[in-house]
Structure 1
């Protein structure tokens, strides 16, 4: 029995050390990606190895995303905003990435867009992806809903992350609370 315990402990130690090294390498990679994008994407934040968030990217950001292995870009901006989304699409596709638009109106988000957002984020073909809007407010609101509804996060923890991403708008906070309350009743 003692002969089995020692090799088992060694194996567990090696597995644990390997996992810690992987986590450390992953954190370093995410920090490197954030640093590379910082001047090109306002409020950029790599949440994990699959998702980064931010405000409106500058044109050079799309090539940098692609060079860092990103496969898609999801914008929550509408065509009525003062930004050239056609150019964003062209730059995204020219860099070999997929462009996805879910047009969210800040003052009146549509709950059906939340469902579309969740499906898009859960589609592993899109990983890794950048999710952006003008200032990261809409991104933060929709991401908070995703964390609670799709991943089972506590609302308080998801709100902390949403604030870190950029959630400041009262109307978006109200939308999140309303959406989550109506989802609890289902």
Structure 2
């Protein structure tokens, strides 16, 4: 009887501590930490990756000084043309700064495809030391990074969401219900 009670007691303690053990695992293995930079609006950094909305010329120059050698632009061709008319041609300017430029236009829900995620992953294949990924406001960047972490880096969905929440991801239902939503992939 003592053995059964001891086993039951141990099980209850393990069950009670499981959420805390999981949280400490996240901190050790880690959901990548995001640092918001005050160099420009909507500019974030995690390890060797920068995420942003549309950078201006000064931000591109600063990123070059930080060692960025690849720029992935998720804005549409129309957005890029409009920006070029107002400010500068990003592709030409990035070339002048001797950084590689990849355009992966994502327009509306039609742009959120497994094929585009695969192209995104191929661009992040490790050939480059530091990467800037940007769109108009960092929203598309957030979704692509979250999907990339799950699909290509083996992250749990909850961990990818925790990553995304540090940039631009939010789920307003959680605010309305004042509770966290339990996300699962099927």
The TM-score, its normalising length taken from structure 1, stands at 0.66
Deviation at 1:45, TM superposition (A): 1.2
SS in 2 for 1:108: helix
Q: 1:7-156 to 2 correspondence within 5 Å?
A: 35=37, 38-40=38-40, 42-48=41-47, 50-81=48-79, 82-84=82-84, 87-109=89-111, 110-122=113-125, 124-156=126-158
**TM-superposed deviation, 1:168:** 4.6
Give RMSD over aligned pairs: 2.6
SS at match of 1:73: strand
Unaligned runs of 5+ in 2: 1-32, 173-183
| Larger helix percent | 1
- Alpha-carbon separation, structure 1, partners of 2:155 and 2:94: 31
Deviations along 1:50-92, one digit per CA (max 9) or x if unpaired, are: 2111111011111111111111111100111242297111221
CA contact (8 A) 1:136 1:167 kept: no
Structure 1, gaps ≥5 residues long: 1-26, 171-179
In 2, the alpha carbon distance for the partners of 1:77 and 1:168 equals 21
Deviation, 1:169, is: 8.5
Task: Find the structure with the greater CA-based Rg.
Answer: 2
- Determine which structure has greater relative contact order: mean sequence separation of CA pairs < 8 Å that are 6+ residues apart, divided by chain length: 2
Secondary structure at the counterpart of residue 56 of structure 1: coil
Compute the displacement of 1:153 (Å).
Answer: 0.7
